[in-house]
Structure 1
Amino acid sequence: MSVFKLPNTLCDEMISLVRSFWWGQTNGRNKMAWLSWDKVCVPKSNGGLGFRNLKAFNLALLAKQGWRLQTNTHSLVHRVLKARYFPNTDFLHAELGSKPPFAWRSIMVAQEVVKAGSRWQVGNGSSIQIWLDKWLPTHSIFRVISPTGTLPQDSRVCTLIDEETGEWKADMIREFVDFIWHLIFIQHVGKELLELVVTIAWCMWYTRNKACHGTTRQSSQEIIFKARSMIKSYQLARLEKPHHKEPADIRWIPSDFPWYKINIDAAVFTVSKSVGIGVVVRDHEGLVVGLVAALSKRMPLPLGPFDAEAKAMHEAVTFAKDIGLQDVIFETDSAILSTALNDISTAPTSIDNVIQDTHHSLQAFRRTQIQHVKRIGNKLAHTLAHHAKGIDDYVTWIEETPPCIEPIVFQDALSV
């Protein structure tokens, strides 16, 4: 099943045998089937019995072979098939060819399945087409859907990346001033109207997607009614007071000698489309003195909160290397980030490259640890991250305490 596409008639006969065995028969007559076979094949986690859909299972195994041909380019099978069927391209763009053998024809059946489930992870961007390939980190269609701008149709993502710094060329990435921006900064509309406009826009997008899958398209009155109902439900939900359980110990705790502890945080500045990074290095006594330091840096990157946290960790590791530390504990208030750095297999795809870069840089230290800390125990880095909003590039403090965090340093020292 993992190499050849089973004929549909064979799959139907095998399913018929399984159904006969499962439901049983008496005197050559089948007993009543109490559940449709489609529902029987639904996973147990979704309320079904978890039986295999043979056709889908066969297609999944063939797609697995196709994915291996796409990713494992050093295997003997890949080299043989590539020389024969797609010498100038990859598996995703291969063609069936004339008079292909049954094995290759079977694998090509699953090509569309591989295409539907794959997307690019951006490296240098030289192989990725801006307008045609799926490479965006968003969870919609992963593809640029805006009209082609000043860049040609066949432009590559590498044209948007600075080769020397590896950063995005912000001046080449087109910024769109949309209707919401106009409402906020030109019309100065109220909060209630803005909420309604945004919710209606989402409902229009939602009903359009449902219509693409065969559902009847809603009328404008139905969309407006749905939007108002969603806003009302949201407002009622916010009235409920959640019960928060305070952690047992949320203080900042100093490291043991000879370790240094580095606290990291990031802040997102939406208006200026930039992020602030705060890094604080303290010794086992909790003091920002001697060979310890602090960093406040602003970077012109339109990142989200989680991406900014990952970037801040990468900058903190680089900063620790620059000042010559060897035994370092890195603390962040992002639980997902700390988990991803301790086990890179759990890293979200959107920041996988940054995590791998950071993990590789950690090998330069003698000993390192990645820990999670509550936000209240990360106040110094949090303050320096927001302090970056008022600076042009970055500021470092060596053998001195930044004035903006002196009271918090003193408070943390008293609580030790």
Structure 2
Amino acid sequence: MLAKQGWRILSNPVSLIARLFKARYFPACFFWEAELGDAPSFSWRSILQGRPVLKAGVQWHVGDGNNINIWCDKWIPSCPQYRIQKPPNTNLEVVADLIDARARVWNTLKIRDLLPTKATLLHKGYTGDTDCLLCPATFEDRAHIFCKCPTAQTILSAPPFNLQASLLPRLNFIEWMLEQAINLKHDTFEKLLMILWALWKNRNNKFWDGCAQTSTDIVFSSFSWLDEFRKARHDAAAKPVKMQKKTWKPDPEKRWKLNVDGSFLPNQTKGGLGGVLRDGDGCFKATFTQPVHHVDSAKQVELLAIKEGWQLLQSLKVQSVVIESNCLEVTLDIENQRYDLIDYSAIIDDIRMTMVCFPGVQICFAPRTCNAVAYRLASIAFDDNYTSVWIDKVPECILDVLQSDCNQPT
């Protein structure tokens, strides 16, 4: 839910809420670089809490490239983790540096120098030898590693490639790759890409660890990795997993339901409690909000929300009710017979003593999607810092989420 709020800011920057957040919290930078700032609201704190989840799943779409960092941003789908490792002694920073702006094509003169072969490193201050690590050749460039080295030639001259006729002495590697992309079948070209990656990996293993594979081992390992990748991709496409979103439902036994939640952020000493009570048909009965101070964890706040919910039930003399919390740890701790060994055992003891007096009350877990109204109330308590109770009349601040609960398909 928090990541979705961040995504709305990114995907619709001209919306009113996006412009408000930008003007208040990151007027001079992008959303990704925005900091918490002074006196932030609970909403902004929550969005920043969900930003790492959002960042893990988004990827850049390349336009002019001015806003995309080559080394830090996710912009290459075929690259592991969508990023590439930054070589030393390079001034290239953003993707625009790799693009010919006039012709609107990639600047191949810059791109081809990114692979740190010994020949490339000569232009960046390297003063060592240029010998191939795998054969007696005295000049290691891309064409040699991938096409002219005996290990590479053995692989590329055999089936399924049969490229011996194209491995010319004065071969231009980029033109050679373009030729293979055009002439080879899709399946064979995928295998060629895996082989090139394995050849580079084999060269690096020789450099760092002093060991290298034979051409046969390189072929077997590369094709095995490609088969595993294809199988995983096929299985994922053949068996799409559709997660069904759980929503709030009235109790099947027509008992009343009290949903409670607590709001808390790390490095804060305050929290917010909220709860909503509905009858067996899902009709609104009451809500409460209450700020709390001198708290040190989300678990403590969740326990206090349940305890405060009990106070509401007692004041309304409700005897048979299901209390739902979206904190699984709290509901398990309350059921634990050795709760005296658990943190906040005093609060748990108060809750358990009340349960003895109200045997018709049950405390159980409900996912966050079933607890949206209580979450909204707890957030309001955290931000506004005042206590309130509404009986029978629905407060406007939760009207939208309450109606959303009632209008969910059964």
What interval of TM-score do these two structures reach, taking the shorter chain for normalisation? 0.3 to 0.5
Larger Rg: 2
TM-score, structure 2 length as denominator? 0.40
